[in-house]
């Protein structure tokens, strides 16, 4: 009899993995940065447009983008004189989609999916 295949890793994360994951979550813990990543996961924008959408200043959005780019969560390309930003990493796209599927519009937890997905409950 074969073991069931799980989408969850079965090997415990290493210390470097835990550190990198914690740093990524810390970056996304700022509401404005999370909003920027959510926007860029859906469309490409320049810094001015991101500032309009988030309500933050252009300078503040630029600082957030610099941090997100250093962490490779956001990519940039030149379009004439403007920098255009986007999220291209499929893991980041999944992470952002998953968290907002988990949080209802009023900020409470969204209802659970119909079947438990935790491997211990399989």
pLDDT, residue 1, reads 47
Q: Is the overall model pTM greater than 0.85, yes or no?
A: no
Which two structure tokens, joined as six digits, stand for 41? 């996961």
Percentage, residues of the chain above pLDDT 90 = 77
Q: 47-96: per-residue pLDDT in tens?
A: 999 999 999 999 999 999 999 999 999 999 999 999 999 999 999 999 99
Q: Which of 52, 69, 61 has its CA nearest to residue 33?
A: 61
Domains of the chain: 16-110 (1.10.10.10)
CA distance 80 to 69: 20
CA distance 119 to 122: 5
Beta strands in 12-97, from DSSP E residues, in sequence order: 75-79, 82-86
CA distance 106 to 18: 30
For 121, which DSSP code?
A: G
Residue 101, Cβ density class (10 Å: 0-12 exposed, 13-18 middle, ≥19 buried): exposed
């Amino acid at each position: 009899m074969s073991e069931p295949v799980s989408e969850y890793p079965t090997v415990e994360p290493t210390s470097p993995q835990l550190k990198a994951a914690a740093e990524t979550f810390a970056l996304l813990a700022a509401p404005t940065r999370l909003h920027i990543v959510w926007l860029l996961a859906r469309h490409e924008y320049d810094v001015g447009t991101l500032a309009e959408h988030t309500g933050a200043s252009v300078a503040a959005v630029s600082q957030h983008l610099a941090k997100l780019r250093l962490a490779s969560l956001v990519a940039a390309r030149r379009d004439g004189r403007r920098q255009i930003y986007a999220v291209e990493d499929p893991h980041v796209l999944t992470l952002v989609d998953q968290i907002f599927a988990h949080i209802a519009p009023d900020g409470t937890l969204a209802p659970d999916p119909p079947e438990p997905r935790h491997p211990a409950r399989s």
